[in-house]
């Protein structure tokens, strides 16, 4: 794998009003026709909001006790298929999901709410949506795009930030994503909306909330073992969770488990960038009730 020739960076194009790359549209027919099952759990996020963290938590809650061998043999992206992905180095996400023999199936998506296959709504599936404040989300996405050959070239930070504000990102504007899913919560009662900042502040409390949403009642010991296993430093070292087995990511440029902090944006935004961002943010977010914290 190490000497594998890397494909060129993909181009962004408009797809049903959302910026996308071919990696997420090549398999579109199968994605739209995907047959969800009533007990499937959809983990939905904007990229870099804490998808892997929550995926790992859910995997441990459901299978940590019953299938401990998973913990040493199956990387997270095979346990929790990425529905719309078709990276050619792995089978497409729909195929991986169809092949899962576990119940429930945990399925990851970055799709904006309006593009999610309708069977998830028809089957009334549980959805866990993770959202992260825009500034830290943008910083994390920038470093990810530097090291991830499967996304367009990020350019320098200033250009990237402008692109983020313009919504010209893979999976579209952050603003539409977090507000679209927030609105869906009003009509789909089985949607649990989690904030990355809350998870950093008190992982144990958020675990309790997750368990209550999922109808799980792990023992105090099990809960403690999950909480311990999903700490940033532990996950960073865990080759089944840290994406170190993926050949299209160059960890020498930036690791997947980078900092895991709230407020790293302060190390990236200039005062002028921050002010411009805040002003634009107020306009874009004026019609929503969702509130984010940029510090904890």
Residues that bind ligand A3P (CB under 6 A): 45, 47-53, 136, 140, 143, 230-232, 235, 257-260, 264
Tell the smallest beta-carbon distance from residue 156 to ligand A3P (Å).
Answer: 18
| C-beta nearest to ligand A3P: residue | 260
Work out whether the CA dihedral 158, 163, 166, 170 comes out positive or negative. negative
- Is 143 a residue of the active site? no
Q: Which is nearer to ligand A3P, 105 or 135 (CB)?
A: 135
Q: Which is nearer to ligand A3P, 34 or 144 (CB)?
A: 144
Rounded CA gap, 72 and 132, in Å? 29
Tell the smallest beta-carbon distance from residue 187 to ligand A3P (Å).
Answer: 25
Q: Which is nearer to ligand A3P, 143 or 177 (CB)?
A: 143
Rounded CA gap, 31 and 78, in Å? 17
Which of 280-287's residues contact partners 24+ apart within 8 Å by CB, and which partners?
Answer: 280/165, 281/134, 281/175, 284/173, 284/175, 285/175, 285/179, 287/179
Tell the smallest beta-carbon distance from residue 122 to ligand A3P (Å).
Answer: 27
Catalytic residue among 16, 22, 88, 110: 110
Rounded CA gap, 248 and 243, in Å? 10
Rounded CA gap, 61 and 55, in Å? 10
Phi first, then psi: give them for residue 41, nearest 5 degrees.
-120, 120
Tell the smallest beta-carbon distance from residue 142 to ligand A3P (Å).
Answer: 9
Q: Which is nearer to ligand A3P, 70 or 135 (CB)?
A: 135
| Enzyme catalytic residues | 110
């Amino acid at each position: 794998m190490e000497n594998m020739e890397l494909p060129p960076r993909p181009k962004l194009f408009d797809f049903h009003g959302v910026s996308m790359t071919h990696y997420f549209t090549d398999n579109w027919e199968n994605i739209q026709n995907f047959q969800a099952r009533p007990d499937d759990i959809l983990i939905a996020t904007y990229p870099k909001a804490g998808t892997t963290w929550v995926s790992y938590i859910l995997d441990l809650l459901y299978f940590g006790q019953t299938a401990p061998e998973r913990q040493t043999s199956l990387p997270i992206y095979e346990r929790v298929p990425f529905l719309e992905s078709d990276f050619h180095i792995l089978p497409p996400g729909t195929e991986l999901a169809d092949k899962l023999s576990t119940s429930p199936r945990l399925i990851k998506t970055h799709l904006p709410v309006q593009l999610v296959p309708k069977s998830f709504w028809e089957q009334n599936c549980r959805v866990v949506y993770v959202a992260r404040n825009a500034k830290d989300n943008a910083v994390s996405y920038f470093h990810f795009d530097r090291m991830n050959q499967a996304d367009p070239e990020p350019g320098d930070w200033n250009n990237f930030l402008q692109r983020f504000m313009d919504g010209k990102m893979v999976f579209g504007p952050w603003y539409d994503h977090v507000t679209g899913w927030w609105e869906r919560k009003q009509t789909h009662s089985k949607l649990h909306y989690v904030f990355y900042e809350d998870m950093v502040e008190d992982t144990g409390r958020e675990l309790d909330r997750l368990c209550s949403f999922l109808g799980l009642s792990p023992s105090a010991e099990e809960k403690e073992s999950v909480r311990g296993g999903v700490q940033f430093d532990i996950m960073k070292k865990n080759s089944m969770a840290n994406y170190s087995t993926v050949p299209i990511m160059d960890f020498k440029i930036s690791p997947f488990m980078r900092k895991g902090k709230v407020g790293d944006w302060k190390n990236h935004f200039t005062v002028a960038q921050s002010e411009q961002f805040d002003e634009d943010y107020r306009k874009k977010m004026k019609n929503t009730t969702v509130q984010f914290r940029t510090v904890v």
